[in-house]
Structure 1
């Protein structure tokens, strides 16, 4: 463990999390992967252990710890080999709850953030639309104010926790003619009349409930607006830095897990009278893969360190996701090859890992979009600013 970033307390936290996951989560993973439903009891257990409150204020039940506890949380979730389970946990804790914490009023935090920390409520973040994808500013969902209420119409898709969550954080246009300046953020209960959802069938992340959500004249009180009206776009952009870094950290962690598994397998698998980790062609592949993974991990740690200090790391976090997710896909593909025919079998972990990893370059902004964002900053000298 890198002592530049991790203290003895971090190490103790990692060990307790590993023990918890091994005892409470791993025995259920195969069932959840098959059913596509994560049972509610595990959310409460995560809450009881304080895992959802790592970065949140003590006033609402959190622990207000530094970002490297989150790094550990993310890394260890990747090493139980269920990208869907991991996504359900971090989408709740760092997508939905981040908006509650940053934009929610005290009353909203009392009603939604506090029970989210204890695991009594599950949240989802609804930004992506069927016709929008990475084009956040082009969203069509509207929230029109009528007196002391807003009426929401539209749809969202690819929403993690989109079926079983208790509340939704929803981005919508409060001024449809104002482009990205007309967007706002709302929180609403799942059982609000007019909200319906459809479960999506995915290549990977099969344990998580990914949904398409429709809003048909959904009426909510005006006090369920979060932050200022019209500031939704900068709020979303500001939090994208954390989301992209999370996906970068996830990527280096699953690549590391794949390599550890493959190297162990190679030390036991024999061919032509010796273990296959003695063949130079395979040894040098492993050397290349470990080098790529370690470089990515160190970069991600440095970005996490800067974000923890309050720096605005949108460029670096975008680079993290772009590079790490590509790296993870290539390494996991290669590790599956090391296993030969066994790598293609569902009884071995690489088949699921390959499917789960493939979402990395798509979710949270496709690699193509990320390259354009980086190009704008590097070539066009565009200076993205945090929301004030």
Structure 2
């Protein structure tokens, strides 16, 4: 079983899907996913295989060694990766989209030439350091400071819930360069993860154990001024520019995982017999699958729609927020329903459904909570 092909995909987009699914099936089989998840180990072998196959360069310009793929191409790729494993999609996004695209848009030519080819080759991994203990949804409230000192800046502060920071080589760090200016005082820097005074401490979370989150501490970390991304105090606009892309990718990842949940539950239910019949013969089960399919179709249509809008040069703020809410909340509902279909087996650690449930739950929280997304949608309605 696999993702459907009846969405007017181009031949190259079908090839993207088929190629990545085949590659991941080879380098990241199901038993390895379970072992890595239990050990909280990063899927390095699979990550490096994606890099060798050229997938890290999908959204980047050809002048940096990228493939110049469209937003739709990226959505289809992320959906396929997440169909195989949602954590693998997050590992990809942390470097290529959340960190790497800030480099692509805001770094000097010298920094681009240093980092982008290394991202594309798989030699450099990234993480975006944004959230703080007192600043989550309210990005303007960050306190991590960057103070000019000659040709350098000195960074002090703390970040929390930073995905993949423990395996990152470079960090994109949101700082305050003007403490009292709110969102107009934010500047971004790219910081070497091995810098003196920088400490990364992994956290234990309910799910996504392979790519778990981290605390990052900055104690007088010295960064050259040339590592600033964009203009001083221009970090807010840089962060906002990436939000539509982030929501598209999170929606695509949820879409892929929803389809995997359906296929996994269907495989189990087709073999499971009660009262002498497969449980799929019972309306109570078959209608659950109908509900799962409704959520899968709705999620995929909204995801592909916003990808097409971005490719058309639009800035679909409300539409990407809607897609993100629907996709991530559907992902949670589908995982919960998958456990119910499988009964006691779905609750057991030897089956993957419990991992889908744990991994999906962060979706309505990360990348902007569902509550914040609904506020954005209401504002776009003039409310």
User: For the residues of structure 2 that align with 1:178 and 1:290, how far apart are their CA atoms?
Assistant: 47
**Structure 2 counterpart of 1:289:** 292
User: For the residues of structure 2 that align with 1:332 and 1:29, how far apart are their CA atoms?
Assistant: 17
User: What secondary structure is seen at the aligned counterpart in 2 of 1:306?
Assistant: helix
What whole-Å deviation, never above 9, does each CA across 1:183-222 have from its counterpart, x for those lacking one?
1111011111111111100100001142100111111111
User: For the residues of structure 1 that align with 2:336 and 2:193, how far apart are their CA atoms?
Assistant: 39
Q: How does the TM-score come out when normalised to structure 2?
A: 0.95
Question: 8 Å contact 2:43–2:88 — kept in the other structure?
Answer: no
Deviation at 1:85, TM superposition (A): 3.0
Deviation at 1:40, TM superposition (A): 4.1
* Structure 2 residue 124 is the aligned partner of structure 1 residue 130: no
* Structure 2 residue 21 is the aligned partner of structure 1 residue 15: no
* Structure 2 residue 365 is the aligned partner of structure 1 residue 341: no
User: What secondary structure is seen at the aligned counterpart in 2 of 1:159?
Assistant: coil
Q: How does the TM-score come out when normalised to structure 1?
A: 0.94
Deviation at 1:5, TM superposition (A): 4.5
Task: Give me the CA root mean square deviation.
Answer: 1.5
User: What secondary structure is seen at the aligned counterpart in 2 of 1:13?
Assistant: helix
Residue ranges of structure 1 left out of the alignment (5+ in a row): 381-388
**Structure 1 counterpart of 2:49:** 45
Closer, same or farther in 2 for the Cα pair 1:375/1:35, shift >3 Å?
same
**Structure 1 counterpart of 2:67:** 63
Partner residue of 1:154 out of 157, 168, 172: 157
**Structure 2 counterpart of 1:278:** 281
Residue ranges of structure 2 left out of the alignment (5+ in a row): none
User: For the residues of structure 2 that align with 1:32 and 1:310, how far apart are their CA atoms?
Assistant: 40
* Structure 2 residue 229 is the aligned partner of structure 1 residue 229: no
User: For the residues of structure 2 that align with 1:28 and 1:341, how far apart are their CA atoms?
Assistant: 23
* Structure 2 residue 115 is the aligned partner of structure 1 residue 112: yes
User: For the residues of structure 2 that align with 1:192 and 1:74, how far apart are their CA atoms?
Assistant: 31
Matched residues, number: 379
* Structure 2 residue 71 is the aligned partner of structure 1 residue 73: no
Deviation at 1:41, TM superposition (A): 4.2
Deviation at 1:295, TM superposition (A): 1.5
Question: 8 Å contact 2:190–2:227 — kept in the other structure?
Answer: yes
